[in-house]
């Protein structure tokens, strides 16, 4: 028979043996999640990878670059933060105006749908085409098969906005603006600030903002 003190020691050793690998896994996973994704000032990935568009053609991000850079917006067909609801009008209603402002600043603009888990339903290429027609999109809308571009960028939400300069480096990422925040004191026009920054060389008030929206539906 073991003494009470020996039993306690055995239980303690068993706990350490089981817990340490688990804690190590959690720490490593947290570090991977924290480090995943682009950082401002880094080169954007997959710029030369061709993707299907709803117009039937294939484009890479480099194909869609303007003289002063490119706006990449991860979007979808149904998220309330994109299409709106009774509480928030949705950022989609700004897409065409933002595209116009970007073009005036010689900046490209593209929407990317990475909802691979819904590719056989509401985010199929056919549904993307229907949605782009109904919303009267003036920009290209690309299919990100297997969420590869979203994974490479570390995109989290629909929408998630990235701005890339003429050298292919990320200069901003996050929300288009802070209109989602009903308690805001001022409207922060992040994307429009980037237009001025890339086309006129003005300083950016912010280089990141928290992305807001529905999670990207990966497989």
Instruction: Report d(CA 201, CA 194) in Å as an integer.
Output: 9
Q: How many helices (H) and strands (E) does the chain have?
A: 6, 9
Residue 79, number of CB atoms within 10 A of its CB: 24
Q: Taking 50 as the threshold, does the pLDDT of residue 127 lie above it?
A: yes
Distances (CA, A) of 193 to 10, 64, 69, 165, 170: 62, 20, 14, 13, 14
Q: What is the pLDDT of residue 8?
A: 52
CATH architecture for the domain at 51-215:
3-Layer(aba) Sandwich (3.40)
Instruction: Report d(CA 131, CA 204) in Å as an integer.
Output: 33
Choice among 35-39, 101-105, 160-164 with the minimum mean pLDDT: 35-39
User: Confidence class of residue 22 from pLDDT cuts 50, 70 and 90?
Assistant: very low
Pair of tokens at residue 188: 């922060």
Q: What is the DSSP letter of 120?
A: T
Across the chain, what does the average pLDDT equal? 87
Helices (H), the chain: 4-35, 80-83, 92-104, 125-134, 148-153, 190-200
Per-domain boundaries in the chain: 1-35, 51-215
Choice among 30-39, 114-123, 201-210 with the minimum mean pLDDT: 30-39
pTM of this structure: 0.83
Tens-digit pLDDT profile for residues 38-75: 899 999 999 999 999 999 999 999 999 999 999 999 99
User: Confidence class of residue 182 from pLDDT cuts 50, 70 and 90?
Assistant: confident
Tokens 């917006």 — which residue? 73
Instruction: Report d(CA 83, CA 76) in Å as an integer.
Output: 9
Helices (H), 54-183: 80-83, 92-104, 125-134, 148-153
């Amino acid at each position: 028979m073991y003494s009470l003190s020996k039993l306690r020691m055995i239980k303690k050793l068993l706990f350490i043996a089981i817990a340490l690998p688990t804690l190590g896994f959690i720490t490593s996973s947290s570090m991977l999640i924290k480090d995943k994704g682009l950082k401002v000032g880094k080169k954007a990935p997959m710029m030369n990878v061709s993707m299907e568009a709803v117009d039937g053609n294939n484009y890479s991000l480099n194909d869609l670059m303007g003289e002063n850079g490119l706006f990449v917006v991860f979007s979808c067909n149904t998220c309330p933060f994109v299409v709106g609801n009774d509480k928030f009008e949705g950022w989609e209603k700004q897409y065409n105006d933002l595209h116009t402002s970007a073009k005036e600043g010689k900046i490209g603009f593209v929407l990317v749908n990475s909802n691979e888990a819904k590719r056989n339903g509401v985010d199929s290429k056919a549904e993307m085409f229907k949605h782009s027609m109904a919303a009267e999109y003036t920009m290209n809308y690309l299919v990100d098969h297997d969420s590869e571009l979203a994974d490479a960028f570390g995109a989290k939400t629909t929408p998630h906005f990235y701005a890339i300069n003429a050298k292919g480096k990320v200069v901003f990422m996050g929300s288009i603006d802070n209109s989602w925040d009903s308690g805001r004191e001022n409207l922060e026009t992040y994307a429009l600030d980037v237009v001025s920054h890339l086309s006129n060389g003005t300083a950016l008030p912010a280089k990141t903002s928290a992305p807001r929206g529905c999670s990207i539906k990966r497989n």
